[in-house]
Amino acid sequence: MKIKDRTVLKNLGSCGFGGASNTGCVDVLDGKVVRIRPLHYDEHYTPEDLNEWRYEVRGHTFRPGMKTLLPPLSLAYKKRAYSPNRVPYPLKRVDWDPAGDRNPQTRGLSGYERISWDEATDIIAAEIERIGREYGRRSILIQGEGHGETKVVSGAHGCSSLMLDYVGEEPGDYLIQARQPDSWEGWYWGAKHVWGMETHGQQNPQDNVIKDVSENSDAVLFWGADPETTPWGWGGLQPSRLCYWFTEIGVKQIHIAPDVNYTNAVHADKWIPILPNTDAAFQLAVAYVWMTEGLYDKEYVATHVEGFDWFEYYVLGHEDGIPKTPRWASEKCGVPSYRIKAFARYWGKHRVSIAHCNGGGYIRSCFSHEPARLEVCLLGMQGLGKPGVHQFKFIEWVLQGVNPVPPSEIYPTLMGVYHGWRMGAPKHFIPKTMTPDAIVGRYTHENPMTWFGHVVCFMRREDQFLKFQYPEPDAHPIHMIWSDTPCWETCWNGGNAYQDAVRDESIEFYLVQHPWMENDTLLADIVLPVSTLFELKDIQADIFSGQWNKIIYEDQAIESVGESKGDYEAVCEIAKKLELYGGEYEGLYEKLTCGRTIDEDIEYGYSISEVPLDEYPFEKLKEQQYFAFPTKKDWEKDPVGLELFARDPVAHPLRTPSGKLEFYSIGLAEHFPDDKVRGPVPHWIEEADGHEERISSARAKDYPFLLVSNHPRWRVHAQHDDIPWLREIPTCKVRGSDGYLYEPIWVNPADAERLGLADGDVAKLFNERGAVLGGVLVTERIMQGVLYQDHGARTDILEYGAGGLDRGGANNLICPSATTSKNAAGEVTNGFLVGIEKADVSELAKRYPEAFARDYDAAAGLCASARIVKEA
């Protein structure tokens, strides 16, 4: 079938999890995507039709805008479909033989040969059946929970587990790699014990918090926030417009961060440079100034706070003999004490709110629960929930009420036909942060690996007090990995350790389904080629565009690239083969599909989406391709953030044991009485629980810099790293003397001079866990003593495993493996120690001739063909 010239709508956000955003009009000519452009709402609606929301402040007006606000990542997305990095057809690792030698030790090194879908699904079904029979299905580890293309019927992640739910007596009989609350580890493991909720806005809607901030705040603290960058992932450019708006109406913007990020560069009134992950020291000193100078809301504290005296006891130094003075803090955080004092006095005398996207590096560093808790304490000392005193998020999230802009009248949901991972308590699971540890077989039934909590977002606070173990008493350890999220090595805590783990002989089969030949995909035994969203039909509920909710009918834009299929279709093919084994596999395909085709799923999904069908009929949806829904009536009358709690904490308690802001956490005191790192009262922690990542640490002699590893501006984590239009931007890649595009490392001019580093040099970031290369960018935008390289670069491994070397600049390979702290199984991927030195590229080329000769497209980077050794 030839797909004719036309325009189709696609959501081009990269959040995944069924949450659409960034709707683009995709123009198709001669069967190819030629252009992506914003959707103009005014082709179908007037602002009145949509009951347009507005902020009117001091003679200025903010309106949502009548076209979608696409970021560069979305505008350039067609390049991903046509990337030379696409997996062209099913592949098998040449030296992996399911009937003979499996060679786990050569994962990552082996080439791949072309096989057919038929052969691939035969092998896969046979392995699933055999492993299930020999060990039980709980020895199959499902990695199916990342961000990514937002697909609903074709669900990008987790289809594998949906299928396995239909096998055996009860759903859930497999091992899940549980999705961490990685975006906000600190809020989850820390702040939740102070204010009972997890992320901002979870308890009280924040629909009109930005309105209130606009009207009432003197300043907004961007405490590790870059709304010119990270909303791009799935919210578009609305937050950028809001920063201009704050300037227009005179709301001051103060940035606290080690780097001058893109928002800071354009909008900031002030920058307070701070060493990575030392925010807790800075915050304690602010509290010290307020306590000693009487600059806090004593009445509010008396009525809204539990355990203030414990906090005061610690801050003033009565507990450990060390008052947390600005001078004490300045040695740790690198902010001069006079600046801390001036800042604390300004804050103590003005109405100040704090803005985040998700938190910034310190929220994913060791002991991240401490700065997160301290932030809520500081807000509490200034009357959190009163006019102009809030915490708010620029990034919209899937929960109703967490969106920082007014809600729509209709809140569509397509969960009924979503073939993907859902947040919820998995039955059998390991935390994603502990996957390498689990695999290497260090743990046995007698000596199991243990942790607390389901480690999944949006669980109740009490969940963190439940203890779990691996292997479970009646289950075998892991023997197979099935991944549709193959970026562990470049996104999680200690990629080199992961590479070593998956080469363990206990892993008999490693299956990956993915559109692109990159990262963990290169460790797999079988690779299935997956279609991008352009190649599929789907239906989407856009609930975080920051304008209006809408529902989108996504027609197929182009034919499949190569032999790819949608993730759901791929799993369906496996189900068909498994059926042939009969018994518990009988009727599997029918059960998985519920007897519906994809077209029928789309129509059925719409019929149960909570959109009133008489007003918005399906046929009209197909014709117009979307419906936008009007803003909720009287949205201005909703309470603002924690306004109700601020007014009356007894009538509107928080979900903490005391119902108040717990500066002393009753839950932590009761359940972890011996935990000195996450004790009941937030503290400054120098080193503990396997982390020595301070400039005061002995390791700092060899690795003297703290690394900032932000969310990439020109990617979403591991995604988009092959887009030529972005890669040619100088802050996206640095061209080395060998012509290769290296991942930038920002170095302060003073450090660069001392180390003899210049713009364009290739340098090596290293610690005892290994090394990654990067291209030097000398800039005042990073403070002295700190290096910055974005996270998520595509790996190009020169040497695998512990002590390894990566040319791609995937610094997660050398992140700490230990979790946030002993009882908090969060990820630590930021603010860790590294050294830097100039690298001699020609020397490396001689040492790694094969790697340097890999098929490389000067514009897009590594090619899939680099790994394919035999064509059938």
Ligand X SMILES: Nc1nc2c(c(=O)[nH]1)N[C@H]1C(S)=C(S)[C@@H](COP(=O)(O)OP(=O)(O)OC[C@H]3O[C@@H](n4cnc5c(=O)[nH]c(N)nc54)[C@H](O)[C@@H]3O)O[C@H]1N2
What does the binding site for ligand X look like in residue numbers (CB under 6 A)?
A: 146-149, 151, 156, 182-183, 223-226, 229-230, 232-233, 256-259, 261, 274, 276-277, 279, 356-362, 364, 395, 484-487, 491, 513-516, 519, 530, 567, 708-713, 715-719, 791, 812, 815, 829-831
The DSSP 8-state label assigned to residue 379 in this structure reads H
Minimal distance in Å, beta carbon 658 to ligand X?
29
Judge contact between 539 and 551, C-beta under 8 A. Answer: yes
Query: Would you count residue 368 as binding Mo ion (CB under 5 A)?
Result: no
* Alpha carbon distances (Å) from 283 to 60, 169, 289, 315, 612: 34, 52, 10, 10, 49
Bond prior to 323 in cis (omega within 30° of 0): no
Residue nearest Mo ion, Cβ-based: 183
Could you say which of ligand X, Mo ion, none residue 812 binds, taking C-beta under 5 to 8 angstroms by partner kind?
A: ligand X
211 binds, among Mo ion, ligand X, none (CB under 5 to 8 A by kind): none
State the minimum distance, in angstroms, from the CB of residue 804 to ligand X: 16
Q: Which is nearer to ligand X, 78 or 102 (CB)?
A: 78
* Nearest to Mo ion of 71, 529 (CB atom): 71
Strand 305-306 relative to strand 352-356, pairing: unpaired
> What contacts 400, CB < 8 A, 6 or more positions away?
205, 407, 411, 543
Specify the residue, 10 or 476, whose C-beta has the smaller distance to ligand X. Answer: 10
Distance CA 409, CA 631 (A): 5
Residues 6 or more apart whose Cβ sits within 8 Å of residue 638: 205, 207, 208
Tell me the closest approach of the beta carbon of residue 155 to ligand X, in angstroms. 8
Where does this chain touch Mo ion (CB under 5 A) — which range of 108-116, 176-184, 328-336, 577-585?
176-184
- The least CB distance from residue 469 to Mo ion, in Å, is 27
Which of ligand X, Mo ion, none has residue 860 at its interface (CB below 5 to 8 Å by kind)?
Answer: none
Please report how close the Cβ of residue 218 comes to ligand X at its closest, in angstroms.
Answer: 20
> Is 849 in contact with 832 (CB distance < 8 Å)?
no
Pairing of strands 856-857, 770-778: unpaired
> Which of ligand X, Mo ion, none is residue 256 near (CB under 5 to 8 Å by kind)?
ligand X
Smallest Cα–Cα separation from 718: which of 132, 33, 148? Answer: 148
How many Å separate Cα 379 from the centre of its chain?
A: 25
Q: How far is the CB of 711 from Mo ion (least distance, A)?
A: 7
Closest to ligand X by CB, 382 or 719? 719
CA dist 249 and 60 (Å) reads: 7
Residue 324's binding partner among ligand X, Mo ion, none (Cβ under 5 to 8 angstroms by kind) is: none
775 binds, among Mo ion, ligand X, none (CB under 5 to 8 A by kind): none
Helix (H) or strand (E) holding 482: strand 480-483
Least distance CB 330 / Mo ion (angstroms): 31
* Residue 127 binding target from ligand X, Mo ion, none, CB below 5 to 8 Å by type: none
Q: CA-to-CA distance for 822 and 392, rounded, in angstroms?
A: 29
Residues 6+ apart with CB under 8 A from 583: none
- To Mo ion, the closest distance from the beta carbon of 831 in angstroms equals 16
**Phi-psi domain of 469 (left: phi exceeds 0; alpha: psi -120 through 50; beta: other):** beta
691 three-state secondary structure: strand
Q: How far is the CB of 119 from ligand X (least distance, A)?
A: 20
Residue that the structure tokens 């955003």 belong to: 21
Q: Which is nearer to ligand X, 370 or 567 (CB)?
A: 567
- Of Mo ion, ligand X, none, which one sits near residue 585, judging by CB under 5 to 8 A according to partner kind? none
Tokens of 512: 């990956």
Strand, coil or helix: what is 657?
coil
Residue 669: closest CA among 660, 678, 661: 678
The smaller minimum CB distance to Mo ion, of residues 230 and 408, is found at 230
Q: Which is nearer to Mo ion, 656 or 820 (CB)?
A: 820
State which residue, 239 or 679, has the beta carbon closest to ligand X.
239
Nearer to Mo ion, 183 or 485 (CB): 183
Give whichever of 264 and 656 is closer to ligand X, judged by the CB atom: 264
Tell me how many helices (H) and strands (E) the chain has.
28, 38
Range in contact with Mo ion (rule: CB under 5 A) among 182-190, 324-332, 438-446, 491-499 = 182-190
- Closest separation in Å from C-beta 790 to ligand X: 8
Q: Does 830 bind Mo ion (CB under 5 A)?
A: no
| CB 326, CB 341: distance < 8 Å | yes
- CB of 253 within 8 A of CB of 246? yes
Q: How far is the CB of 518 from ligand X (least distance, A)?
A: 7
Q: Which does residue 230 bind out of ligand X, Mo ion, none, counting CB within 5 to 8 angstroms by kind? A: ligand X
Contact 121, 113 (CB under 8 A): no
Draw the binding track, 659-698, toward Mo ion (x: CB under 5 A; -: no contact): ----------------------------------------
* Residue 398 Cβ vs ligand X, minimum distance, rounded to whole Å: 12
Token pair listed for 782: 């990073």
User: In whole angstroms, what is the distance from residue 571 CA to residue 276 CA?
Assistant: 43
Residue 135 Cβ vs ligand X, minimum distance, rounded to whole Å? 25
276 contact, one of ligand X, Mo ion, none, CB 5-8 Å limit per kind: ligand X
Residue 229 contacts which entry, ligand X, Mo ion, none (Cβ below 5-8 A, type-dependent) = ligand X
Residue 690 CB, shortest distance to ligand X, in Å, is 18
Residue 702 near residue 708 (C-beta atoms within 8 A):
no
For residue 188, what are the β-bridge partners? none
* DSSP letter assigned to residue 835: E
199 binds Mo ion (CB under 5 A): no
Size of the site for Mo ion (CB under 5 A): 1
Using the minimum distance from each CB to ligand X, give the nearer residue, 182 or 689.
182
List the end-to-end C-alpha distance of the chain, in Å, as a whole number: 26
Q: Where do we find the tokens 């000769």?
A: 853
Choose which of 11, 183, 433, 609 interacts with Mo ion (CB under 5 A).
183
Residue 485: contacted member of ligand X, Mo ion, none (CB under 5 to 8 Å, by partner type): ligand X
Cβ closest to ligand X, residue 487 vs residue 578: 487
For the bound state, the minimum distance from the C-beta of residue 259 to ligand X, rounded and expressed in Å, comes to: 5
Assess 719 for contact with Mo ion (CB under 5 A). no
State which amino acid sits at residue 198. Answer: E
Rounded least distance, CB 563 to ligand X, Å? 15
Return the number of the residue (645 or 714) whose C-beta is nearest ligand X: 714
The contacts of residue 676 (CB under 8 Å, 6+ apart) are 688
Give Cα separations from 422 to 15, 146, 355, 431, 592 (angstroms): 13, 11, 27, 15, 16
Nearest to ligand X of 531, 631 (CB atom)? 531
* Residue 718 binding result from ligand X, Mo ion, none, given CB thresholds of 5 to 8 Å by partner type: ligand X
For ligand X, the closer of residues 68 and 519 by Cβ is 519
Cα separation, 872 vs 869, in Å, equals 10
Show the CA angle centred on residue 235, arms to residues 233 and 241, nearest 5°.
115
Look-up of token digits 């040619």 = 728
Distance CA 736, CA 856 (A): 14
Which two tokens mark 842?
A: 């020609």
CB of 717 to Mo ion, least distance (A): 8
Considering the complex, state which of residue 534 and residue 672 has its C-beta at the smaller distance from ligand X: 534
Examine residue 160 and tell whether it contacts Mo ion (CB under 5 A): no
Give the residue with the Cβ less far from ligand X, 325 or 830.
Answer: 830
Tell whether the torsion through CA atoms of 645, 648, 651 and 653 is positive or negative.
Answer: positive
Q: Which residues bind Mo ion (CB under 5 A)?
A: 183
